[in-house]
Amino acid sequence: MIDWYKKAVFKNYANFSGRARRSEFWYFILCNFTITFLLYALLFALLAISGNIEEERNRSIMALFSVLAWGIIPLYSLAVFIPNLAVFVRRLHDTGKSGWTLLVYFIPLVGLVLLIVWLASDSQPGSNNWGPNPKDLNDSINQIGSTGI
């Protein structure tokens, strides 16, 4: 699972071409969610601890809280913003839709539901405008995001 995440973040950081299988997309989303959840859990744990200790030690806990809240979490979010967009676009390509279809997200209520349905749907069989079906190439993680050209 972490291999899919590393592949999407490091090898295909800004790769908006090609296709992404469901496994690549959903493992990336799962890892991204897990990392974000753990960072916020640490943030709230520090906040909870700070209320139970004396004021002198509380300053160091609050300093760590500030670094996490205003430094690490925003930096992580910025670092994965482009790979997040790229894997969304490649996943939409795999279903036969343009990356611009991602903008449907901004339609209230309906947009999110449509997007989830499209992202969860199976790959378009055979080749399409964005390359061959990654399932047909190989089930290997080495094929993530490749266009086969």
As a whole number, mean pLDDT of residues 5-34 equals 92
State mean pLDDT over 68-74: 87
Say if residue 7's pLDDT is above 60.
yes
How many structural domains compose the chain? Answer: 1
**pLDDT recorded at residue 88:** 96
Quick check: 41 pLDDT over 80? yes
Q: Would you place residue 29 in the very low, low, confident or very high pLDDT band (cuts 50, 70, 90)?
A: very high
CA distances from 106 to 88, 99, 103, 109, 113 (A): 15, 14, 6, 9, 11
Q: Mean pLDDT in the chain? A: 86
* Residue 67 or residue 112, greater confidence: 112
Domain membership flag for residue 148: no
Domain-located, residue 56: yes
The answer to the question of residue 82 being in a domain is yes
* Domain range for 112: 2-143
For residue 28, give the amino acid letter. F
**pLDDT tens track for 111-125:** 999 999 999 999 999
